[in-house]
A and B are shown apart, each in its own frame.
Chain A
Amino acid sequence: DSGVTQTPKHLITATGQRVTLRCSPRSGDLSVYWYQQSLDQGLQFLIQYYNGEERAKGNILERFSAQQFPDLHSELNLSSLELGDSALYFCASSVDGRPNTEAFFGQGTRLTVV
Chain B
Amino acid sequence: QKEVEQDPGPLSVPEGAIVSLNCTYSNSAFQYFMWYRQYSRKGPELLMYTYSSGNKEDGRFTAQVDKSSKYISLFIRDSQPSDSATYLCAMNPFGNEKLTFGTGTRLTIIP
- Mark A71-114 against chain B: 1 for CB-CB distance below 8 A, else 0: 00000000000000000001010000111101111111000000
Bound complex: CA of A23 vs CA of B49, how far in Å?
A: 25
- A103 adjacent to B41 (CB under 8 Å): no
Number of A residues contacting the other chain (C-beta, 8 Å)?
A: 27
| B32, B43, B51, B102: the one within 8 Å of A90 (CB) | B43
In the assembled complex, 10 residue pairs joining A and B whose CB atoms fall closer than 8 Å, in A order, are A33-B97, A41-B103, A43-B90, A55-B97, A56-B97, A56-B98, A58-B98, A100-B49, A105-B45, A107-B43
Bound complex: CA of A16 vs CA of B100, how far in Å?
A: 29
User: Does any Cβ of A come within 8 Å of B31's Cβ?
Assistant: yes
Bound complex: CA of A104 vs CA of B43, how far in Å?
A: 9
Number of B residues contacting the other chain (C-beta, 8 Å)?
A: 25
Chain B contacts to A: CB under 8 angstroms: 31-32, 41-46, 49, 51, 88, 90, 92-104
Given contacts A100-B51, A102-B49, A48 and B43 within 8 Å (CB-CB): no
Given contacts A42-B101, A42-B102, A98-B97, A2 and B31 within 8 Å (CB-CB): no
User: Does any Cβ of B come within 8 Å of A30's Cβ?
Assistant: no
